[in-house]
Amino acid sequence: MQKSNLLKDFFRIYGNQENSPQLFFSPGRVNLIGEHTDYNGGFVLPCALSFGTYLVIRKTNDDNVKFASANFELKKSVSLKNLKEKVNGEWVNFPLGIIDQFSKKGKQISGLEFYYSGNIPNEAGLSSSASIELVTAFALNDLFGFDYSIIDLIMLSQKCEHEFIGVKCGIMDQFAVGMGKKDHALFLNCKTMKHIPVRFKLDGYRLIIANTNLKRGLSSSKYNERVSECARAVSDISKVMEINDLSDLSIDLFNEVKNEIKDNTVKQRATHVVYENNRVLKAVKALEQNQLETFGKLMIESHNSLRDKYEVTGFELDTLVEEALKIKGVIGSRMTGAGFGGCTVSIVKDEFVEEFQHKVGEEYFKKTKLKPDFYLPEIGDGVREV
């Protein structure tokens, strides 16, 4: 996306004033393995993508923050005196929530003009919300000289989700968007925030992200229900063993105490989390040893667990994975993100990429009457000024 075109659109909306705007970029992310472990204090392995959200921003001399986007018709002007007033169901709540977080920390923000332009599909599970949050937080930090670290901005963005948006998300999305590194996955311990970039060599292979195009709103999905179920599992196990999160348990320890969980559905949720954590550790080792096929098998195991034990896939995601695995040259495929719609991620040999898109798309449409979209991203860097 060319800087000149973004500036042209910005000036068309806001006019060419004395103050010069600045341009920032924040990527989307795809999680390679480690799903629904982040809010359980566990391990995840995401990477930042080459597509994301651009923000052109400029200070003004009035008392309003003005929002416009290339992706949505809604334009909004909000008085700095009324920042806590949430706009029902609208995208501007993400930057409003970020401004609210800075305000809670006593940081003064003056009038601003925002123009967002992104190529992350909305509600696809590729962290369009975290991308908007981080690019906003990063830009405000730069414009007003708040001197926050990237980790500070990541934590602030998560609090925006919890307190303003109303989604009790883990830290993975914001972390991957903030700390992504080109050609690397990010091995993250969500409890300690310890993170290690892991070289992700895709020589002869491509990542293909397939979008179900089944729309779902995360805050109205069963996401918070799964968070609650995991908390119930921790409560039951804590009667015989002191733990803070399910990720405190190894597989052996979990098998010793799992029968303390009386509700079978809750036990299944906990089983997924504990075994998924172990899969992430195996996946990191596989990448370090350049064993991409082993990594692919772990992706498949992850999807099966999310389908059978965590129950967050659904017919559309399962169909995409099933059809993907029928294609020669596919070594791994799984749902990615919160589930209940959204996307799958697959690793496909270069020579079968075109066949993958054609055959998977055709069979998926036959079974669901939905047309999928396919993306072939590169693995990129995290949030930054352009």
Fold for 3-199, please state it. Ribosomal Protein S5; domain 2 (3.30.230)
- Is 70 in a helix, a strand, or coil? coil
Position 165 pLDDT exceeds 90: no
- Give the whole-angstrom CA distance, residue 187 versus residue 297: 18
Q: Given this model, what pLDDT does residue 278 score?
A: 98
Tokens representing 32?
Answer: 């390679």
Q: What are the catalytic residues?
A: 173
Supply the pLDDT for residue 219.
42
Question: In this predicted model, what pLDDT tens digit does every residue of 44-61 receive, in sequence order?
Answer: 999 999 999 999 999 998
Percentage, residues of the chain above pLDDT 90:
81
Q: pLDDT tier at 217 (50, 70, 90 boundaries)? A: low
**112 or 119, higher pLDDT:** 112
Are 341 and 140 in contact by the 8 Å Cβ rule? The answer is no
Q: Measuring CA to CA, how many Å separate 321 from each of 305, 330, 358? A: 13, 10, 14
Cα separation, 373 vs 364, in Å, equals 11
Mean pLDDT of 291-301: 98
Q: What values do phi and psi take at 307, rounded to 5?
A: -75, -50
Query: Degrees (nearest 5) of the Cα angle 52, 42, 130?
Result: 20
Domain ranges of the chain: 3-199
Whether 216 contacts 129, CB under 8 Å: no
Taking the CB of residue 22, how many other CB atoms lie within 10 A of it? 15
CB-based contacts of 293-296 (< 8 A; 24+ apart in sequence): 293/331, 295/33, 295/331, 295/332, 295/347, 296/330, 296/331, 296/332, 296/333, 296/347
Element (H, E) at 320: helix 315-324
